[in-house]
Amino acid sequence: MGTALTLTAIQAATTEAHRAFQGVTDGQNADYIPVLAKVDPSRFGIVVMLADGKAAEAGDTRSLFAIESISKVFTLARALDTVGADGVRQKIGDNPTGESFSSVHALVVHGGKPLNPFVNAGAIATVSLLAADSAAHRWEQILGTQRAFAGRDLEVMDEVYRSESATNQHNRALAWLLDSAHTLYSDPTEATDVYTRQCSVGITTWDLAVMGATLAAGGINPVTRQRAIRAEHVPRILAEMTMSGLYDNTGTWQYEVGLPGKSGVGGGILAVVPGRLAIATFSPPLDRFGNSVRGQLASRQLSAVLGLNLFAT
Ligand code: GLN
């Protein structure tokens, strides 16, 4: 689908989206993880990267922020390569919950099955599915997968990890609820800690675009030319992003943007046009669902101006 886009047209649209929404001050930084409340809310970056690695950018695209829930995409990638699509669907699920990302209610009403890998319970269960003989081994696989997608040696932001570890009682409770329902596959404390670490990894908007371009390119990182995930799993990841990537606001996102997407409470959003490109945005203030306000506005405008909506005929 779609006509070929020139990099010049993409750069013009990227610059314009940044200009148009730079002044928006709606939304608030996440504050249930104290360190995230301290990030400068005026930071705003956009990168649009083609599947061959050519890119356009505007604003603050090179400073680090916490990957948070966008990390769930890459742990899912690793789990698909480990236990296969049927294993993930049977043990985690592949449907939206219709509830907030940390809902206990959603877990309880479904007998402890998290329903999808992008709510916190499902993401912790996905961590537990990896084949590992120690916490270090589990962590190596997750960080290794994030690095393969980004094409560089990403690291944990220690201050984020400390802040999140000190305040993640709710996630620990979710892990124990999973465990009690026999839907967790490793030690609950270990799974929650590794999950907290994976959310604390620092990325730039540029890194996020490379990670998305790797998905757009069928699993081959356009920078390193290395395969990060088996090609057959890419459509499954994009399907999950399409259904649940922006939590209980995913329907609105699809209505307005029409692309697989994934947000994080650090302020990042990734959108992917399969076979073509990725849009990465970063702006910390969030709406009540936990999705970046300016990121959604910029993604919507770029999708419209560049004709990227997958549901358009
Ligand atoms: N680490 C965050 C949490 O577990 C991630 C949530 C998010 O980005 N939506 O609550």
Both 177 and 75 in one domain: the answer is: yes
What digits encode the pLDDT tens for the residues 188-234? 999 999 999 999 999 999 999 999 999 999 999 999 999 999 999 99
Q: How many domains, the chain?
A: 2
Last residue of a domain, one of 199, 221, 251: 199
Both 224 and 252 in one domain: the answer is: yes
Q: What is the pLDDT of residue 1?
A: 46
Atom of ligand 1 nearest to the CA of 196: 1
In a domain, 311, yes or no: no
Q: Whose Cα sits closest to atom 4 in ligand 1?
A: 120
Q: Which of 101, 116, 203, 244 to mutate to test the pocket of ligand 1 (most atoms within 8 A of CB)?
A: 101
Distance between Cα 217 and ligand 1 center (Å): 27
Q: What is the pLDDT of residue 4?
A: 77
Both 53 and 106 in one domain: the answer is: no
In a domain, 284, yes or no: yes
Collapsed DSSP state (helix, strand, coil) of residue 239: helix
Collapsed DSSP state (helix, strand, coil) of residue 292: strand
Last residue of a domain, one of 146, 172, 199: 199
Residues of the chain short of pLDDT 50, as ranges, are 1
Both 216 and 173 in one domain: the answer is: no
In a domain, 129, yes or no: yes
Nearest by Cα to 118 from 220, 293, 264, 252: 264
Both 291 and 213 in one domain: the answer is: yes
Q: Which of 102, 160, 288 to mutate to test the pocket of ligand 1 (most atoms within 8 A of CB)?
A: 102
What digits encode the pLDDT tens for the residues 251-295? 999 999 999 999 999 999 999 999 999 999 999 999 999 999 999
Atom of ligand 1 nearest to the CA of 69: 8
pLDDT over 90 for what percent of the chain? 98
Last residue of a domain, one of 150, 184, 199: 199
Distance between Cα 122 and ligand 1 center (Å): 12
Q: What is the pLDDT of residue 3?
A: 61
- CATH number at 111 reads 3.40.710.10
Both 36 and 112 in one domain: the answer is: no
**How many other CB atoms are there within 10 angstroms of residue 131's CB atom?**
13
Question: If you write DSSP's letter for every residue of 73-94 in order, what string do you get?
Answer: HHHHHHHHHHHHHHHHHHHT-S
Domain span including residue 158:
71-199
Q: Whose Cα sits closest to atom 2 in ligand 1?
A: 68
Contact 248, 239 (CB under 8 A): no
Q: Is 49 left (phi over 0), alpha (psi -120 to 50) or beta?
A: beta
Find tokens 């589990």 and name the residue: 138
Contact 168, 121 (CB under 8 A): no
Q: What are phi and psi of 59, to 5 degrees?
A: 80, -150
pTM of the model: 0.97
In a domain, 313, yes or no: no
Both 160 and 54 in one domain: the answer is: no
Atom of ligand 1 nearest to the CA of 120: 4
